[in-house]
Amino acid sequence: MNLKQLEHLLALADSGSFSRAATQMHLTQSALSRSIQSLEDELGGRLIDRIGKRNELTPLGLTVVARARRMVLDAADLRRSADLLQQGNLGAIRVGLGSGPGALLMTPLLQHMARHHPGVKVAVSRGSTELQLLQLRARQLDALVIDVRRIAPAADLRIEPLGELRAGFICRAGHPLAGATPVPFEVLLGYPIASTPLSDEVARLLVDHYGPRADPAQMTTLQCEDVTSLLDTVAVTDAIFLGIAAAARAGIAAGTLAEIRVEPPLRAGARFACITLAGRTEAPAMGILRAFVEERLRD
């Protein structure tokens, strides 16, 4: 048994097709079949049931695939650790940013790395928390910076809190509610509310604080993962942004955006964290990322 055979089995299990798996592994279909047959012979049982045009894992196959996936990923980590030691440099980082961190960090992080660490390869991706967690576990990302309330604790995740940024209601500078005396929450609902998807915990907090009409499922009329797009929309319409106030920092300083004073005041925020895989070898450049993120994610 060798890693190549396990990789062939994983490709077949994931694709469900000998032809697609063979193409993925750059093999002929007959070569892939021989590899799977050799693995079955060594393990003493069938791994795949060939039912017509369908290929299904046997009970033994399911067990082998589960363990093989861990072994292949561990081997990839071992190769990565060896590469980092041999290169003697800071390596590369692939980081996924949640909606709030993306608005605050993406451009400043790229600029910081280009100016101060030009030898480090940096790849930044955006997307839903669910997708990014899958990418982290598949070793396609090295770290996530997200609102910790959007994920469930798990034994394979290392969660490092980075602090909390307060939330607020943001509008364009010329909005009817800009600069007014404290505005009753109910008045806000006369305008479109723009927000990223909110965690169940934040939703409960809003409902407890302002009543049932504050349930994001009913209150929010404009929703997407990209805070920058939401704030750009708020800057030219009467929509009101609900989210971390720090994301509007530049617009408020430029005089294009304003924070609405709401009565009662909003007492909520986003709790950001750096998420990595427990036990995984990290590139030295991860230290640079952590220091930069801790410095920038402040009110």
Q: pLDDT tens for the chain, 299 residues: list them.
A: 788 888 888 888 888 888 888 898 899 988 988 998 988 888 898 888 877 667 888 899 889 888 888 888 777 766 766 665 555 456 788 999 988 888 889 999 999 999 998 888 899 998 888 999 999 998 899 999 998 888 888 989 999 998 888 999 999 999 999 987 899 999 999 999 999 988 888 899 999 999 999 999 999 999 998 899 999 999 999 999 999 999 999 999 999 999 999 999 988 888 899 999 987 877 778 888 999 998 888 76
Report pLDDT for 81.
Answer: 63
* CB atoms near residue 127 (< 10 Å): 17
Q: Tell me which residue has tokens 């041999």.
A: 86
For residue 270, the tally of other CB atoms under 10 A from its CB is 27
Tokens of 299: 């009110």
Q: What is the pLDDT of residue 89?
A: 56
Q: What does the pLDDT read at residue 21?
A: 87
Q: What are phi and psi of 48, to 5 degrees?
A: -130, 130
293 neighbors 170 (Cβ within 8 angstroms): no
Predicted confidence at residue 169, as pLDDT, reads: 96
Nearest Cα to Cα of residue 124 among 135, 116, 134: 135
Give the predicted TM-score (pTM) of the model.
0.66
The pLDDT, as a whole number, for residue 55 is 82
Q: What is the DSSP string of 195-244?
A: E----HHHHHHHHHHH-GGG-HHHH-SEE-S-HHHHHHHHHHSS-EEEEE
Question: Could you tell me the maximum CA-CA distance found in the chain, to the nearest angstrom?
Answer: 78
Domains in the chain with CATH codes: 3-86 (1.10.10.10), 89-163+271-296 (3.40.190.10), 164-269 (3.40.190.290)
